[in-house]
Amino acid sequence: MLIVLDQIDAETTAILRAPMAMPHGAALQVISLEHVLGGGDALRLTLSLALSDEARTGAVADWLWDRLEDAAPLVVKIGGTRARVAEAAALAWLIDRARGEG
């Protein structure tokens, strides 16, 4: 599933681009990084999140939120749903929804 993070700062982007261990059954890869026109230093980061059937959505959302929370609230698009996210539970809901669409 694709995750698009709008108006994200360079520090958070660097954290997400660094190699790191993920929860069991999950993989995350940066697809693109773009400057947002008229957004100053803001960036748009597109990620690909792959989850196996064994991956627990809550664990993945908590892991991802640990890396994003300093930039919150964020405008996030996961699958076909775009929302302002300010907590890990909202991120988990978006991931669950996108898993159901697939």
The pLDDT score that the predictor gives to residue 102 is 57
Query: How many CB atoms are located within 10 Å of the residue 23 CB?
Result: 16
Q: What pLDDT, in 10s, does the model give residues 23-59? A: 999 999 999 999 877 767 788 999 999 999 999 999 9
The pLDDT score that the predictor gives to residue 19 is 85
The pLDDT score that the predictor gives to residue 100 is 85
The pLDDT score that the predictor gives to residue 7 is 86
DSSP assignment letter at 46: E
Q: What pLDDT, in 10s, does the model give residues 75-102? A: 999 988 999 999 999 999 999 999 987 5
94: Cβ contacts below 8 Å, ≥ 6 apart:
76, 78, 79, 81, 83, 85
This model's pTM is above 0.75: yes
Distances (CA, A) of 34 to 5, 9, 26, 38, 62: 11, 11, 24, 12, 25
Residue pointed to by tokens 């908590």? 62
